[in-house]
Amino acid sequence: MKTPLTALALALTATAAFAEYPDKPVEVVVGYSAGGGTDVMARTVAQFLEQELGDGASVVVKNIPGAGGQIGFTEVSEAAPDGYTLGTFNLPAALALTKDRAADYDVDSFTYLANFVEDPNTITVAATSPFQTLDELIDAAEADPGAITLGLSSLGGNDHFAANMMQDASGAEFTLVPFKGASNARTAIMGGHVAAGTMTLGQTSNFPDDLRVLAVLADERSPFRPDVPTAKELGYDVQMSSLRGIVAPAGLDEATTDRLRAALSAVNENPDFQAMMAEQGNPIAFMVGDDFAETASKQDGIAARIWAETPWK
């Protein structure tokens, strides 16, 4: 029997339960050490997300580095979907590594909340390089297949996929040289130890006098470097980029999902946030909800295809 009193109590707890989220700190798991690009984005987002969630909400970043982010991604996928564990998500890396090694998660293990950053890959040479245009570089690669070396940051990442897709589109053959991390690859390019590289535009931005960006692998020219043509304009239909967003474990209830998506959208609209991200050199490409999920599954497909055609290990 339901007395009015219990009904009232129930209603109160129900609204309380809803209104109270978040009633404890929300953790954002970052799969890399403190101080990386993803970590800085997470900290910036966390700072503004606290304001948007209101009520003295607390959002803390937790670094769980290791295995190229896999330990952190796994942690998020296995956490309780209660809205108190979120994670940063890097595309295509997070899904690419499910192809080449055993992983305890896949593209369906997450609730896709919002993507913040999209940093397109490029074809870049040293400023002292004889190659002035993308065509010159590709001609040289065609003349002597394998003679042109491309520096990348490890196989199975966006740098590698960019190189792979560029080879497919142009028919030229490059020698891929996977360094440990983008900075090492960049240094090798600047030192003339490799001929060119596929690093992202963001990684070239602090070296304007040392590097020459031949093309951006995006649909449209980047607002950061409007002088650089896209590969598409030059006749090679290749798009590859590095994306960073925020996800939650799969199975997050709809109310909390909507709440978080709305809060993250509000974060994105905050001019202070935009200013801070620009200062960090993070090109924003905000995608929320289904758009983000769709991009993730598209990236998953690309990684699966490349792995099937040219397995890298």
Partner 1 sequence: MYSDLLHALPDVFAWTNFAAVVIGVIAGIVVGAMPGLSATMAISVLVPFTFGLEPLVALGLMAGIYNGAMYGGAIPAVLLRIPGTPAAVATTFDGYPMAQKGEGGFALQVAVVSSSIGGIASAFALMLLAPPLSKVTLLFGPSEVFWVAVFGLASIIFLLGGNPIKGLISACFGVFVSVIGSDPIYGNDRFTFGQLEMLDGINIVILLVGLYALPPVIDLLETPLKTDGVNSSKLGTEPIWKALPRMNYWKTWLRGSFLGIWIGILPGAGGSMAAFMSYNEARRTSKHPETWGEGEPEGVAAAEVANNADTASALIPALTLGIPGTAVAAVMLGGLLVHGLQPGPMLFRDNPDIVFGFMWQFLFGAILLVLLGGSLATNSFARLLNLPRPLLGSVIIVLMLIGVYSIHGRMFDVYLMLGFGAIGWVMDRLKFPLPPVVLGLILGGFAEENLRLALRIGRGDPMVLFQNTTSLILVALTAAVVVGPTLKKRFIDSRKKA
Nearest to 84 by CA among 249, 245, 244: 249
With respect to partner 1, which residue has the nearer C-beta, 99 or 232?
A: 99
With respect to partner 1, which residue has the nearer C-beta, 130 or 311?
A: 311
Nearest to 222 by CA among 76, 305, 77, 124: 124
CB of 173 to partner 1, least distance (A): 11
Which residues bind to partner 1, rule: CB under 8 A?
33-37, 39-40, 43, 61, 63-68, 70-71, 74, 100-102, 146-147, 149, 154-156, 175-181, 183-184, 186-188, 190-194, 205-210, 276, 279-281, 312-313
Taking the C-alpha atoms of residue 245 and residue 76, their distance in angstroms, rounded to an integer, is 13
CB of 73 to partner 1, least distance (A): 10
Taking the C-alpha atoms of residue 229 and residue 89, their distance in angstroms, rounded to an integer, is 29
With respect to partner 1, which residue has the nearer C-beta, 30 or 218?
A: 30
Question: What count of Cα atoms within 13 Å lies in the side-chain half-sphere of residue 166?
Answer: 36
CB of 200 to partner 1, least distance (A): 13
Q: Please, are residues 72 and 66 in contact by the beta-carbon 8 Å criterion?
A: yes
CB of 294 to partner 1, least distance (A): 28
With respect to partner 1, which residue has the nearer C-beta, 2 or 180?
A: 180
CB of 144 to partner 1, least distance (A): 10
For the beta carbon of residue 191, count every other beta carbon within 10 angstroms.
11
